[in-house]
């Protein structure tokens, strides 16, 4: 693996570690509170989220640094491939990442000029385009966005609902069942103050025997439409780091880079 590519990946990991600490600290302050309200007309019990603290917009800068270092690591890999083949790096030397396979193949000869046939095959097998390796495509596009404006991942989303059931048995001790999680079909991104997150119908409220307890979990999410919209920020960044690290390692091994 080229040393410069490894350094870029390490730098991305450092920024990610800072973001993880910030997110963990933020969520520990309970910035999102869920309160129930009964609908007078229906008797339904509606749970609404109240946002006590907004996700800091400043995190966009650190997230952009993670993305940029990962994208740079790929281009450092391309330069390493050319140099290892005894050729000179040019301005266009890069790992080409495109919106489709055809455009990628059109860019590949110039982007990897001088890298050699083994390197060509290794990069081609990555399928770094939308519909191939989508994470590489996402990293590339987020990096382009970050060059011109702040990435907007700084929003909250509905992660899941946890339900704990307790069976009341009259004079006998109640039985409490282990909690289970339900993932919502709609992440409600971006989460707004007063949004309905759950509803217990009036009929269900009258059911006897079980006493449910509800827990609501939220996450910090990416918010780039059509790229990473409403996806968990930390999980996504971790995956991006893992993908790039694996790509650089695998290609380096295939071409026998030092």
Closest C-alpha among 60, 93, 58 to residue 74? 93
For every residue of 186-227, DSSP letters joined together read: ---SSP-TT-EEEEE-HHHHT--SEEEEEEEEEEEEEEETTT
Question: Quick check: 48 and 37 in contact, CB under 8 A?
Answer: yes
* Residues in Cβ contact with 142 at an 8 Å cutoff, skipping those fewer than 6 apart: 64, 67, 151, 224, 227, 228
pLDDT tens digits for range 127-142 = 999 999 999 999 999 9
Domain boundaries, the chain: 3-153+225-255
pTM of the model: 0.87
pLDDT tens digits for range 68-100 = 999 999 999 999 999 999 999 999 999 999 999
pLDDT tens digits for range 2-56 = 899 999 999 999 999 999 999 999 999 999 999 999 999 999 999 999 999 988 8
pLDDT tens digits for range 103-161 = 999 999 999 999 999 999 999 999 999 999 999 999 999 999 888 887 655 567 778 88
């Amino acid at each position: 693996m080229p040393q410069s590519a490894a350094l870029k990946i390490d730098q991305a990991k450092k920024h990610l570690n800072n973001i993880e600490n910030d997110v963990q600290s933020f969520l520990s302050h309970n910035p999102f509170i869920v309160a129930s309200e009964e609908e007078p007309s229906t008797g339904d019990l509606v749970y609404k989220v109240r946002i006590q603290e907004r996700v800091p917009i400043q995190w966009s800068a650190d997230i952009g640094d993670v993305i940029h270092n990962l994208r740079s690591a790929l281009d450092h890999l391309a330069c390493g491939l050319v140099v290892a083949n005894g050729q000179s790096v040019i301005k266009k030397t890069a790992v080409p990442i495109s919106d489709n396979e055809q455009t990628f193949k059109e860019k590949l000869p110039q982007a990897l000029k001088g890298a050699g046939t083994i390197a060509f095959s290794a990069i081609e097998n990555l399928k770094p385009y939308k519909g191939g390796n989508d994470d590489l495509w996402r990293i590339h596009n987020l990096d382009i966005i970050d060059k011109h404006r702040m990435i907007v991942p700084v929003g909250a989303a509905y992660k899941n609902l946890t339900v704990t059931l307790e069976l009341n048995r009259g004079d006998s001790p109640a039985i409490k069942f282990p909690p289970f999680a339900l993932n919502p079909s709609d992440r409600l991104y971006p989460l707004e103050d007063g949004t309905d997150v759950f509803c217990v119908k009036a009929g269900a409220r009258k059911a006897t025997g079980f006493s449910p307890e509800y827990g609501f979990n939220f996450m910090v999410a990416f918010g780039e439409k059509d790229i990473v919209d409403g996806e968990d920020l930390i999980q996504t960044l971790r995956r991006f780091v893992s993908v790039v690290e694996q790509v650089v390692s695998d290609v380096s091994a295939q071409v026998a880079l030092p």
